[in-house]
């Protein structure tokens, strides 16, 4: 599936677009854009692809998508068989984070929103309780204009940023990891892994970067990340493999070697353990 890089056309002198869709089926291709996007499916079903995650969607599905995160909604086959009772209805909000200006993100009061936009780079599935509150506000935003719409957006973002029932969608390694505090002794490790996952990486190398013994590094890394370093490294490589499988026509072996695996059979084995399907089957799901 070819990724289309797009940019949402905003209304003149506005960074916010609120659209109410009522179509026979969702028509947008697999694409990404610099604007953030909130999607509430009011009526429809099928599968949605966000980053490296393929999941079913149905009525009342709501997700928040960060900048340049690839995505598409694909209706089930019944939507293409001319059935008149099928509709694809949704309310979609697009906005550019430049709406608020750079000084906004330096405010203490904006810390939750700033953190939300970082998390949104992995996509966020909105939980049921929060969705009900946001849905009512989105209905109002469709009819709002001028500064009322800005206020409505602030209210929605506040609800998402303080919600306890959100779920991140893509795997951690699919997008660039959230920046770690510079004082964190693991910060250099995250950066090194992200930049060098294609090369062999040993435990001794990363332990030295953190200025720790291998044993101490393993204890600290598992405490911080709830997984062993070798698991984190594999997750990073598999996530990158997903990007290559989706966005390129490389062979499975080319993808494996580009992600640091020296054996295609080992790559296939680890990919299946992580994604519950082989690389070939994963790619087929995107090409349907």
Quote the pLDDT of residue 220. Answer: 92
**Listed range (4-8, 77-81, 103-107, 219-223) with the worst mean pLDDT:** 4-8
Q: In the predicted model, what is the mean pLDDT of residues 170-198? A: 74
* Whether residues 90 and 151 fall in one domain: yes
Per the domain annotation, does 179 fall within a domain? Answer: no
Number of residues that make up the chain: 288
Number of domains in the chain: 2
Determine the structural domain holding residue 231 and report its residue range.
187-287
Q: In the predicted model, what is the mean pLDDT of residues 148-162? A: 94
* Whether residues 127 and 220 fall in one domain: no
Quote the pLDDT of residue 15. Answer: 80
Quote the pLDDT of residue 84. Answer: 62
For 109, the 3-state DSSP assignment is helix
Per the domain annotation, does 178 fall within a domain? Answer: no
* Whether residues 125 and 214 fall in one domain: no
Domain boundary among 109, 140, 168: 168
Q: Tell me how far apart the alpha carbons of residues 55 and 73 are, in angstroms, rounded to a whole number.
A: 10
Q: Tell me how far apart the alpha carbons of residues 202 and 205 are, in angstroms, rounded to a whole number.
A: 5
């Amino acid at each position: 599936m070819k990724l289309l890089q797009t940019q949402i056309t905003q209304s003149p002198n506005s960074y916010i677009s609120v659209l109410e869709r009522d179509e026979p089926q969702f028509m947008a291709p697999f694409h990404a854009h610099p604007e953030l996007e909130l999607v509430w499916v009011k009526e429809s079903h099928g599968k949605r692809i966000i980053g490296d995650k393929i999941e079913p969607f149905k009525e009342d599905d709501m997700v928040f998508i960060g900048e340049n995160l690839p995505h598409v909604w694909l209706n089930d086959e019944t939507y293409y068989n001319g059935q008149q009772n099928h509709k694809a209805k949704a309310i979609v909000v697009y906005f550019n984070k430049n709406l608020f200006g750079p000084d906004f993100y330096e405010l203490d009061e904006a810390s939750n929103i700033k953190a939300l936009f970082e998390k949104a780079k992995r996509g966020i599935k909105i939980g049921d309780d929060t969705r009900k509150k946001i849905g009512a506000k989105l209905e109002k935003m469709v009819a709002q204009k001028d500064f009322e719409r800005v206020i409505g957006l602030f209210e929605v973002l506040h609800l998402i940023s303080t919600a306890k029932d959100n779920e991140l969608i893509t795997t951690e390694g699919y997008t660039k990891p959230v920046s770690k505090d510079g004082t964190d002794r693991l910060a250099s490790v995250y950066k090194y892994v992200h930049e060098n996952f294609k090369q062999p990486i040993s435990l001794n190398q990363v332990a030295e970067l953190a200025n720790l013994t291998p044993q101490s590094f393993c204890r600290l890394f598992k405490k911080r990340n709830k997984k062993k370093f070798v698991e984190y490294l594999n997750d990073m490589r598999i996530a990158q493999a997903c990007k290559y499988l989706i966005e390129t026509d490389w062979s499975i072996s080319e993808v494996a070697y580009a992600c640091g695996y020296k054996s295609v059979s080992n790559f296939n084995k680890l990919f299946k353990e992580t994604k519950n399907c082989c690389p070939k089957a994963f790619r087929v799901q995107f090409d349907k």
